[in-house]
Amino acid sequence: MQVLTDGVEYIKDENNPFYNQKKAENQGLSFFMIRKCSPYLLRILEEKGMLADAQAKSLAGEERSKAIVHENWGVPDAVAHLIDDDLQRDQGNVRGC
């Protein structure tokens, strides 16, 4: 179980009374840059579209600003194995510690 205390206002969900679209648009990128949650939870939030308003600033417009984040947030395969250990720990399967 993981309890988030920072950034909950960026998580878009109909059951989240703290969600704030303006804050999510302006500060949601921090979810991808600052470790606010485990990599496992970040992956779930992204896959479910719950960080949909996070964006980088682009002169090409808002849609491109969002695409920059959501199309490129993943980790390159060359270093994915480093994060895999974190994912295993987060899921309770501790190995290599």
pLDDT tens digits for 26-63?
A: 998 888 888 788 888 888 898 899 999 988 888 888 88
pLDDT at 21: 95
pLDDT digits (tens, 9 = 90+) for 5-30: 788 999 999 999 999 999 999 998 88
pLDDT over 90 for what percent of the chain?
26
Query: Where is average pLDDT lowest: 24-28, 63-67, 74-78?
Result: 74-78
d(CA 10, CA 97): 32
Instruction: Tell me how far the alpha carbon of residue 84 is from its chain's centroid.
Output: 16
pLDDT beyond 60 at 87? no
Extract the tokens encoding 60: 């090409």
pLDDT over 70 for what percent of the chain?
74
d(CA 1, CA 77): 27
Mean pLDDT of 56-77: 77
